[in-house]
A and B are shown apart, each in its own frame.
Chain A
Amino acid sequence: DVKVTQSSRYLVKRTGEKVFLECVQDMDHENMFWYRQDPGLGLRLIYFSYDVKMKEKGDIPEGYSVSREKKERFSLILESASTNQTSMYLCASSSQGAMDYGYTFGSGTRLTVV
Protein backbone atom coordinates (compact mmCIF):
# COMPACT_ATOMS: atom_id res chain seq x y z
CA ASP A 1 0.00 0.00 0.00
CA VAL A 2 1.50 3.34 -1.05
CA LYS A 3 2.09 5.80 1.73
CA VAL A 4 2.89 9.29 2.79
CA THR A 5 4.11 9.17 6.37
CA GLN A 6 4.32 12.12 8.71
CA SER A 7 6.61 11.49 11.61
CA SER A 8 4.40 12.87 14.38
CA ARG A 9 0.63 12.83 14.85
CA TYR A 10 0.66 15.38 17.67
CA LEU A 11 3.29 17.93 18.70
CA VAL A 12 3.38 20.55 21.43
CA LYS A 13 6.10 23.18 21.19
CA ARG A 14 6.93 26.41 22.97
CA THR A 15 6.92 29.85 21.39
CA GLY A 16 10.28 30.62 19.82
CA GLU A 17 11.36 27.00 19.35
CA LYS A 18 12.62 25.75 16.00
CA VAL A 19 10.27 23.00 14.85
CA PHE A 20 10.83 20.31 12.23
CA LEU A 21 7.93 18.42 10.62
CA GLU A 22 9.01 15.43 8.58
CA CYS A 23 7.29 13.77 5.65
CA VAL A 24 8.37 10.65 3.78
CA GLN A 25 6.76 9.06 0.70
CA ASP A 26 7.48 5.66 -0.78
CA MET A 27 6.00 6.16 -4.26
CA ASP A 28 9.00 7.76 -5.99
CA HIS A 29 6.89 10.89 -6.57
CA GLU A 30 8.55 14.00 -7.97
CA ASN A 31 6.23 16.54 -6.34
CA MET A 32 5.76 17.10 -2.63
CA PHE A 33 3.63 19.67 -0.81
CA TRP A 34 3.03 21.11 2.63
CA TYR A 35 -0.42 22.47 3.51
CA ARG A 36 -1.89 23.78 6.71
CA GLN A 37 -5.54 23.17 7.56
CA ASP A 38 -7.58 25.56 9.67
CA PRO A 39 -11.35 25.44 10.33
CA GLY A 40 -13.30 27.47 7.80
CA LEU A 41 -10.21 28.11 5.66
CA GLY A 42 -9.72 24.72 4.02
CA LEU A 43 -6.15 23.77 3.17
CA ARG A 44 -3.64 26.44 2.26
CA LEU A 45 -0.37 25.73 0.48
CA ILE A 46 2.79 26.67 2.38
CA TYR A 47 5.58 25.33 0.15
CA PHE A 48 6.05 22.73 -2.53
CA SER A 49 8.89 20.99 -4.29
CA TYR A 50 8.99 19.46 -7.75
CA ASP A 51 12.46 17.96 -7.52
CA VAL A 52 15.27 17.28 -5.08
CA LYS A 53 16.74 20.53 -3.71
CA MET A 54 14.04 22.54 -5.52
CA LYS A 55 11.40 24.49 -3.63
CA GLU A 56 8.72 27.01 -4.41
CA LYS A 57 6.68 29.27 -2.14
CA GLY A 58 3.00 28.61 -1.86
CA ASP A 59 0.32 31.01 -0.71
CA ILE A 60 1.39 31.41 2.93
CA PRO A 61 5.18 30.83 3.22
CA GLU A 62 5.91 33.46 5.87
CA GLY A 63 7.47 32.00 8.99
CA TYR A 64 8.25 28.68 7.30
CA SER A 65 11.06 27.11 5.31
CA VAL A 66 11.51 23.68 3.73
CA SER A 67 14.22 21.21 2.88
CA ARG A 68 14.32 18.47 0.29
CA GLU A 69 17.69 16.73 0.25
CA LYS A 70 16.32 13.36 -0.90
CA LYS A 71 13.48 12.59 -3.26
CA GLU A 72 11.42 10.74 -0.68
CA ARG A 73 11.69 13.25 2.18
CA PHE A 74 10.28 16.78 2.49
CA SER A 75 10.74 18.68 5.73
CA LEU A 76 8.83 21.73 6.93
CA ILE A 77 10.69 24.03 9.32
CA LEU A 78 9.19 26.61 11.61
CA GLU A 79 12.16 28.87 12.28
CA SER A 80 10.69 30.40 15.45
CA ALA A 81 7.33 28.94 16.35
CA SER A 82 4.51 31.31 17.20
CA THR A 83 1.03 30.68 18.57
CA ASN A 84 -0.58 31.59 15.22
CA GLN A 85 1.17 28.58 13.72
CA THR A 86 -0.95 26.26 15.84
CA SER A 87 -2.66 24.19 13.16
CA MET A 88 -2.98 20.85 11.39
CA TYR A 89 -0.19 20.33 8.88
CA LEU A 90 -0.68 17.99 5.94
CA CYS A 91 1.96 16.66 3.60
CA ALA A 92 1.12 15.36 0.11
CA SER A 93 2.93 13.93 -2.86
CA SER A 94 2.14 13.41 -6.52
CA SER A 95 3.73 12.17 -9.70
CA GLN A 96 4.28 14.43 -12.70
CA GLY A 97 1.14 12.86 -14.10
CA ALA A 98 -0.88 13.98 -11.08
CA MET A 99 -3.95 14.75 -13.10
CA ASP A 100 -4.26 11.04 -13.82
CA TYR A 101 -3.20 9.64 -10.49
CA GLY A 102 -4.12 12.37 -8.03
CA TYR A 103 -2.41 13.24 -4.82
CA THR A 104 -1.66 11.12 -1.79
CA PHE A 105 -1.93 12.81 1.60
CA GLY A 106 -0.39 11.93 4.94
CA SER A 107 -2.53 11.66 8.06
CA GLY A 108 -1.41 15.05 9.32
CA THR A 109 0.49 16.52 12.26
CA ARG A 110 -1.50 18.56 14.76
CA LEU A 111 0.90 21.17 16.11
CA THR A 112 0.13 23.23 19.19
CA VAL A 113 2.40 26.16 20.01
CA VAL A 114 2.11 27.36 23.61
Chain B
Amino acid sequence: AQSVTQLDSHVSVSEGTPVLLRCNYSSSYSPSLFWYVQHPNKGLQLLLKYTSAATLVKGINGFEAEFKKSETSFHLTKPSAHMSDAAEYFCVVSDGQGAQKLVFGQGTRLTINP
Protein backbone atom coordinates (compact mmCIF):
# COMPACT_ATOMS: atom_id res chain seq x y z
CA ALA B 1 0.00 0.00 0.00
CA GLN B 2 1.06 3.54 -0.67
CA SER B 3 1.47 6.15 2.05
CA VAL B 4 3.05 9.52 2.65
CA THR B 5 4.21 11.17 5.84
CA GLN B 6 4.60 14.90 6.08
CA LEU B 7 7.10 15.44 8.83
CA ASP B 8 5.86 18.86 9.98
CA SER B 9 2.27 19.82 10.65
CA HIS B 10 3.19 23.51 10.78
CA VAL B 11 6.12 25.47 9.34
CA SER B 12 6.68 29.17 9.97
CA VAL B 13 9.24 31.24 8.03
CA SER B 14 9.98 34.90 7.48
CA GLU B 15 9.26 36.56 4.16
CA GLY B 16 12.28 36.32 1.87
CA THR B 17 13.78 33.26 3.59
CA PRO B 18 13.86 29.70 2.17
CA VAL B 19 10.98 27.27 2.54
CA LEU B 20 11.41 23.54 3.17
CA LEU B 21 8.39 21.25 3.54
CA ARG B 22 9.36 17.64 4.17
CA CYS B 23 7.68 14.51 2.81
CA ASN B 24 8.59 10.83 2.97
CA TYR B 25 6.72 8.22 1.00
CA SER B 26 6.21 4.48 0.99
CA SER B 27 5.37 2.67 -2.21
CA SER B 28 5.46 -0.85 -3.57
CA TYR B 29 5.65 0.45 -7.10
CA SER B 30 7.51 3.19 -8.91
CA PRO B 31 5.51 6.04 -7.48
CA SER B 32 4.05 9.15 -8.98
CA LEU B 33 4.34 11.98 -6.48
CA PHE B 34 2.63 15.34 -6.28
CA TRP B 35 2.49 18.46 -4.19
CA TYR B 36 -0.84 20.27 -3.94
CA VAL B 37 -1.55 23.62 -2.31
CA GLN B 38 -4.77 24.80 -0.72
CA HIS B 39 -5.23 28.46 0.07
CA PRO B 40 -7.87 29.43 2.65
CA ASN B 41 -11.38 28.77 1.37
CA LYS B 42 -10.03 27.66 -2.00
CA GLY B 43 -9.82 24.34 -3.81
CA LEU B 44 -6.71 22.25 -4.23
CA GLN B 45 -4.21 23.33 -6.85
CA LEU B 46 -1.44 21.21 -8.33
CA LEU B 47 2.01 22.68 -7.61
CA LEU B 48 4.16 20.06 -9.29
CA LYS B 49 4.38 16.37 -10.10
CA TYR B 50 7.02 13.67 -10.44
CA THR B 51 6.29 10.83 -12.85
CA SER B 52 9.64 9.03 -13.27
CA ALA B 53 11.30 11.60 -15.49
CA ALA B 54 13.79 14.15 -14.09
CA THR B 55 14.27 13.81 -10.35
CA LEU B 56 14.30 17.58 -9.81
CA VAL B 57 10.85 18.86 -10.60
CA LYS B 58 9.98 22.52 -11.05
CA GLY B 59 6.48 23.73 -10.34
CA ILE B 60 4.50 26.92 -10.27
CA ASN B 61 5.27 30.01 -8.20
CA GLY B 62 8.97 29.17 -7.83
CA PHE B 63 8.50 25.88 -5.98
CA GLU B 64 10.51 22.77 -6.74
CA ALA B 65 10.89 19.27 -5.32
CA GLU B 66 13.53 16.59 -5.58
CA PHE B 67 12.73 12.89 -5.77
CA LYS B 68 15.30 10.88 -3.78
CA LYS B 69 14.65 7.18 -4.10
CA SER B 70 17.40 6.19 -1.66
CA GLU B 71 15.83 8.36 1.03
CA THR B 72 12.19 7.79 -0.07
CA SER B 73 11.74 11.54 0.13
CA PHE B 74 10.10 14.23 -1.97
CA HIS B 75 10.74 17.50 -0.14
CA LEU B 76 9.27 20.77 -1.40
CA THR B 77 11.47 23.88 -1.47
CA LYS B 78 11.39 27.53 -2.47
CA PRO B 79 14.36 29.88 -2.27
CA SER B 80 12.46 32.92 -1.05
CA ALA B 81 9.07 32.92 0.64
CA HIS B 82 6.33 35.39 -0.26
CA MET B 83 3.36 36.35 1.86
CA SER B 84 1.10 34.80 -0.78
CA ASP B 85 2.67 31.38 -0.12
CA ALA B 86 0.79 31.09 3.18
CA ALA B 87 -1.42 28.03 2.70
CA GLU B 88 -1.73 24.34 3.45
CA TYR B 89 0.44 21.99 1.42
CA PHE B 90 -0.20 18.33 0.75
CA CYS B 91 2.26 15.69 -0.39
CA VAL B 92 0.49 13.03 -2.43
CA VAL B 93 1.39 9.63 -3.87
CA SER B 94 -0.46 7.71 -6.52
CA ASP B 95 -0.77 3.96 -6.42
CA GLY B 96 -0.44 3.93 -10.20
CA GLN B 97 -3.01 1.18 -10.49
CA GLY B 98 -6.37 1.20 -12.22
CA ALA B 99 -8.09 4.49 -11.55
CA GLN B 100 -4.87 5.79 -10.00
CA LYS B 101 -6.14 6.84 -6.61
CA LEU B 102 -4.30 9.56 -4.76
CA VAL B 103 -3.13 9.03 -1.18
CA PHE B 104 -2.66 12.27 0.75
CA GLY B 105 -0.35 13.20 3.54
CA GLN B 106 -1.69 14.93 6.63
CA GLY B 107 -0.82 18.39 5.36
CA THR B 108 1.64 21.10 6.40
CA ARG B 109 0.39 24.56 7.21
CA LEU B 110 2.88 27.20 6.04
CA THR B 111 2.85 30.56 7.80
CA ILE B 112 4.85 33.51 6.45
CA ASN B 113 5.94 36.17 8.92
CA PRO B 114 6.43 39.76 7.67
Contacts and interface: CB of A to CB of B under 8 A. Distances in A.
A56 interface: yes
Interface residues of B, number: 23
Contacts of B43: 90, 105-108
Contacts of A30: 99
Interface in A29-59: 30-31, 33, 35, 40-45, 48-50, 56, 58
B44 A99 contact: no
Given A90-B43, A107-B43, A108-B43, A102 B104 contact: no
Interface string B15-53: 000000000000000001010000000111010010100
Interface of B: 6, 9, 32, 34, 42-44, 46, 49, 51, 90, 94, 96, 98-107
Given A43-B90, A56-B99, A106-B43, 8 more contacts: A42-B106, A45-B102, A92-B102, A94-B100, A99-B96, A102-B34, A103-B102, A105-B44
